[in-house]
A and B are shown apart, each in its own frame.
Chain A
């Protein structure tokens, strides 16, 4: 049993694409899997064609228990369920701020799902502040997609520094390269240097592929639509490595 948070301060780095595809692979292996979409934009929910009930409001989420349970929806794939996002998650930061023990609140809310699901994937929105610490508490592992640019690497270093400062275990963080374009020299150089120098980084990486971009149209995980594609084998490698680094 593990809770994975797919997290990055930066937007558009492939968090949701990673969540959708690794969670799908996990479920396809027969493990009961839950995706929790806490991004108010609801991209993960969108990919699974799932809408939240209108009544599902942020205050309700923070109560946890039954309300969340009623809002979980089955995806079209065996063993894979999803807790949809809701526009009101936009104010999650504010709401958490008003509460006691606000930094551990999400952990407490997600706790009961550990009984029903073997693995939980949390798709995080970018730019979250208070929610971040909640996520770091709730998750067993933080998966961080990195686009191979200098700026990206700097924010990653910042995240590690933040973990140190706040005394979170930094070995929970597993970063990997995402949207890698081999034809760009910078990408090639960074990959070459970092994959040999930074042992904490995952070796598997996700290349930049048109099939992944098209997920917005097909509204299906790319590993389902194109099971033999390059993109699929990259996600499989990634999931395999995550399992062997985190779960074994």
Chain B
């Protein structure tokens, strides 16, 4: 499908002028005008945009379209009329299926809300055959507020097989005093509304200069983590989806990891104070995250169980939902409190403050960051190898847990300093590490879930006449999780020995060689 061309137009009078020029110079057919309201949805991290699609609510149907051709990929007759929704809120069908692949657990948020007044004109050849279509758009954003932001655009949709006519028309339009070409109408609108489309990512993406002073570089890393935290606060408050809290927590963990793994950059008393503060902050979010995970797993848990036991969990999940509400309220209360404000403020001030000059404790501060990075990464890897060499089929679970922590620490370091090293080998290394982390993560997950389900069961009212059903359902789940865990365990030693081998050692040497 050929892409649609989009041109921005400065003012309503210009739109009128272009229209007249088209009518004067071409044989045309006016198809008519229509005025409709529309909303565009995307996730907080612009997943639809990243997948080259847009989701548009028209009057009575919602449509998933290719972003450039506006060709519909899936559509559904429904009016969602909400500020945010999940794919699982939609009725079964192609639209829901396609969205589930892209969105996962992220919510769709209403991003652009507008009234579109569009006039469609066909350009005809000497046989009165349509050779292309033009649309003139008047877009009025935010239809509920009196202050109406307006925008004008012209789009050209090609008809297959009329490339020459299309090229002629495009050069005509470009000579008509249009304000400039846009990549597509969606981006043009988003631009106008000052959205930084695609800007948010929870991934670490900082360009460091190898010769930078270590303290400056590490502060840059921490600042970007802080920025991710702050960007997610609003979504946590409004309880839009579970990923806001998830990304927020990951940033806390990364921050703590930097502070604990890299010594000699900041004053020890400051560093340990903030480590402790962030630990407390992290802990405050633990229960809410646990509850989120339970609730996300609800359907999956039910699918594991035979139908006869599925109802056993209903009351349990009902209580979890109620508890989640309380947890959420109390976290939001904290986020809105002066104490939180003070923590973030002092952290921010610390990150922006100048380092105390010439302090004998800050031995690493002036070292070029590439040297520091190489050193801490090598150190972490050596530790990992030491623990890992003792791993075999009989290793107790808590050793595996330690190994998982080491892997995670190494992974964070590799992410922080990624921009300093040649990408090719680095990516191979990260990919290998990811594989074992995946297995270790699953292993840990299964064991944590078993433990938590059992603990939750103990808390339940044993006098309840449906307790037996809940207990049976929990038993079923725990057994299932146990088997999953064993399966993980079986594959692990071979996966790990594939990681710690000559080749990986070589990769490390190639990348982080001291010389």
List A residues at the B interface (Cβ < 8 Å): 48-51, 70-74, 76, 81, 219
Report if B162 contacts A (CB, 8 A): yes
Contacting pair B127 A73 (CB below 8 A): no
A73 close to B130 (CB less than 8 A):
no
Q: Which residues of A contact B458 (CB under 8 A)?
A: none
Give the distance to chain A from B67, nearest Cβ to Cβ, in Å: 19
The answer to whether B129 touches A50, judged by C-beta atoms less than 8 angstroms apart, is yes
CB distance from B165 to the nearest CB of A (A): 11
Q: Which residue of A lies closest to B159 (CB)?
A: A74
Q: How far is the CA of A219 from the CA of B127 in the complex (A)?
A: 10
Determine if A76 and B160 form an interchain contact, defined as CB atoms under 8 angstroms apart: no
Give 16 A-B contacts (CB < 8 Å), ordered by A residue.
Answer: A49-B129, A50-B127, A50-B129, A50-B161, A51-B127, A71-B161, A72-B160, A72-B161, A73-B159, A73-B160, A73-B161, A74-B159, A76-B122, A76-B130, A81-B161, A219-B128
Taken together as a complex, chains A and B put the C-alpha atoms of A48 and B131 apart, in Å, by 12
Most buried by A among B128, B159, B160: B160
Least CB distance from B121 to A in Å reads 13
Docked Cα-Cα span, A88 to B264, in Å, equals: 84
* Closest CB in chain A relative to B79 CB, distance in Å: 20
Chain B's closest residue to A81 (CB) is B160
A49 contacts B161, C-beta separation under 8 Å? no
Which single residue of chain A is at the shortest CB-CB distance from B29? Answer: A76
Q: B140: shortest Cβ distance to chain A, in Å?
A: 27
The distance in angstroms between the C-alpha atoms of A48 and B127, with both chains bound, is 9
Residues on the B chain within 8 Å of A51, using CB: 127
Contact assessment for A74 and B127 in the assembled complex, using a CB-CB cutoff below 8 Å: no
A163 to chain B, nearest CB (A): 35
B161 neighbours in A (Cβ, 8 Å): 50, 70-74, 81
What chain A residues lie within 8 Å of B130 (beta carbons)?
Answer: 76
Residue of A nearest to B127 (CB): A49
Instruction: Please indicate the chain B residues that have their CB under 8 angstroms from the CB of A50 in the complex.
Output: 127, 129, 161
Chain B residues with CB below 8 A from A49, complex form:
125, 127-129
Least Cβ distance of B14 to chain A in Å? Answer: 29
Residue of A nearest to B157 (CB): A74
Asked if B160 and A48 sit within 8 Å, CB to CB, the answer is: no
Chain B contact-residue range equals 10 to 19
Verify B160–A74 contact, CB threshold 8 A: yes
Residue of A nearest to B72 (CB): A30
- B162 touching A73 by the CB < 8 A rule? yes
CB distance from B282 to the nearest CB of A (A): 51
In the complex, A72→B160 CA distance in Å?
7
B residues whose Cβ falls under 8 Å from a Cβ of A: 122, 125, 127-130, 159-162
Closest chain A CB from B487 CB (angstroms): 40
Assembly CA distance A72 to B159 (angstroms): 10
CB distance from A51 to the nearest CB of B (A): 7
* Chain A hits for B129, CB < 8 A: 48-50, 76
Q: Kindly list chain B residues whose C-beta atoms are within 8 Å of the C-beta of A71.
A: 161
Most buried by A among B128, B129, B130: B129
CA A71 – CA B162 in complex, angstroms?
9
Contacts of B162 in A (CB 8 A): 73-74
Q: CB-CB < 8 A to A48: which residues of B?
A: 129
Closest CB of chain A to B283's CB: distance in Å? 54
C-alpha gap A81/B130 in the complex (Å) = 12
Closest to A51 in B: B127
Closest to A76 in B: B130
Q: How far does the alpha carbon of A72 sit from the alpha carbon of B161 in the complex, in Å?
A: 6
| Docked pose: A219 CA to B122 CA in angstroms | 17
Kindly list chain B residues whose C-beta atoms are within 8 Å of the C-beta of A73: 159-162
Q: Shortest beta-carbon distance, A143 to chain B, in Å?
A: 25
Q: Tell me how far the C-beta of A85 lies from the nearest C-beta in chain B, rounded to whole angstroms.
A: 14
Residues of B within 8 A of A74 (CB): 159-162
Q: How far is the CB of B345 from chain A (nearest CB, A)?
A: 57
Distance, CA A70 to CA B162, complexed state (A): 10
Measured CB to CB, the nearest residue on chain A to B158 is: A74
Contacting residues, chain B, for A72 (C-beta < 8 A): 160-161
Nearest-Cβ distance from residue B136 to partner chain A, whole angstroms = 19
Q: Name the CB-closest residue of B to A46.
A: B127
Q: How far is the CB of B229 from chain A (nearest CB, A)?
A: 46
- Name the residue on A nearest B75 (C-beta): A30
In the complex, A49 Cα to B127 Cα: how many Å?
A: 6
Taken together as a complex, chains A and B put the C-alpha atoms of A49 and B161 apart, in Å, by: 13
A71's nearest neighbour on chain B, judged by CB, is: B161
Write out the residue numbers on chain A whose beta carbons fall within 8 Å of the beta carbon of B122: 76
Separation of A66 and B383 alpha carbons in the complex (Å): 59
Complex Cα gap A129–B129 (Å): 33
CA distance A226 to B161 in the complex (A): 28
User: How far in angstroms is the closest Cβ of chain A from B476?
Assistant: 43
Closest CB in chain A relative to B104 CB, distance in Å: 29
Residues of chain A within 8 A (CB-CB) of B127 are 49-51, 219
Q: CA A73 – CA B162 in complex, angstroms?
A: 7
Closest 6 CB pairs of A and B: A73-B161, A49-B129, A74-B160, A74-B159, A49-B127, A76-B130
Tell me the complex Cα distance, A51–B122, Å.
Answer: 18
Residues on A with C-beta less than 8 A from B159 are: 73-74
A81 contacts which chain B residues (CB < 8 A)? 160-161
**A230 CA to B128 CA, complexed, in Å:** 27
Minimum distance in angstroms from B164 CB to a CB of chain A: 10
**Contact partners of A219 in chain B: CB under 8 A:** 127-128
Query: For residue B128, which residue of chain A has the nearest CB?
Result: A49
Residue of B nearest to A48 (CB): B129
Q: Which of A48, A74, A81, A219 has the most CB of B within 10 A?
A: A74
A129 → chain B closest CB, angstroms: 30
**Chain A residues whose CB sits within 8 angstroms of the CB of B160 once the complex forms:** 72-74, 81
Chain A residues, CB < 8 A from B125: 49
Chain A residue with minimal CB distance to B161? Answer: A73
CB of B347 to closest CB in A, whole Å: 56
The complex places the Cα of A11 from the Cα of B284 at a distance, in Å, of 84
A70 to chain B, nearest CB (A): 8
CB-nearest residue of chain B to A84: B161
Give bound CA distance, A171 to B73, whole Å: 35
- Looking across the interface, which residue of chain A has its beta carbon closest to that of B163? A70
CB distance from B262 to the nearest CB of A (A): 55
Complex Cα–Cα for A237 and B128 (A) = 30
Distance of A198 from chain B, by nearest CB (Å): 40
Q: A49-B125, A50-B129 are in contact. List 14 more A-B contacts (CB 8 A).
A: A48-B129, A49-B128, A50-B127, A50-B161, A71-B161, A72-B160, A72-B161, A73-B159, A73-B161, A73-B162, A74-B159, A76-B130, A81-B160, A219-B127
